[in-house]
Amino acid sequence: MTILAVLQEPDPRLRKPSQRIDLIDAEVRRLAHDMLDTMYHLGGCGLAAPQVNTRRRVIVVDTSASGDAPLILVNPVLHHHGDRMARFEEGCLSIPDLYVAVRRPAEICVHALDLDSNPTAWEGGGWAAAVIQHEIDHLDGRLLTDALSPKDKMRHSMRQQRRHR
């Protein structure tokens, strides 16, 4: 079991887009499993590779009540989504103590690869769809703070400044 260090906002590395993975090898598999160990250890329900300072397109998710249904997606792409929107309060392991109500498509279909390089798809809605979209945002350099209103961004920035004094 390897627990990885999670980058914290405002670390600029969180804003860098991730690179597509051409070969799923032992290193990628180890990364995915270490990410799962880290996510479970920290009590999260999703983690993206950029959060552990790896610019590769890998996310791990587990929204099950029992915490024993991991989903690992390599090179995930949001293929389509429904017209209905949903709002969920989201948190982030890279931005502790911040929770933001984010409006996202309620149902999605994501295409990706599994750890055996097989094409796979995840289709569904609810909280799991929100978490998957949140993690894909990380792969593209977007953070939860991007969903804040200008007023709330200023408040968050002031809190960050106080925290780093």
12-163: which CATH architecture? Answer: Alpha-Beta Complex (3.90)
CA gap 28, 98 in Å, rounded: 30
Number of neighbouring beta carbons within 10 Å of residue 20: 10
Catalytic residue positions? 135
Cβ-proximal residues to 122 (8 Å cutoff; 6+ apart), any chain? 71, 73, 108, 109, 110, 112, 132
CA gap 139, 55 in Å, rounded: 8
Predicted pLDDT at 25: 98
Predicted pLDDT at 3: 98
| 41-to-3, 4, 27 alpha-carbon distances in Å | 7, 10, 21
Predicted pLDDT at 94: 98
Encode the chain (165 residues) as per-residue pLDDT tens digits.
799 999 999 999 999 999 999 999 999 999 999 999 999 999 999 999 999 999 999 999 999 999 999 999 999 999 888 899 999 999 999 999 899 999 999 999 999 999 999 999 999 999 999 999 999 999 999 999 998 867 766 676 666 666 666
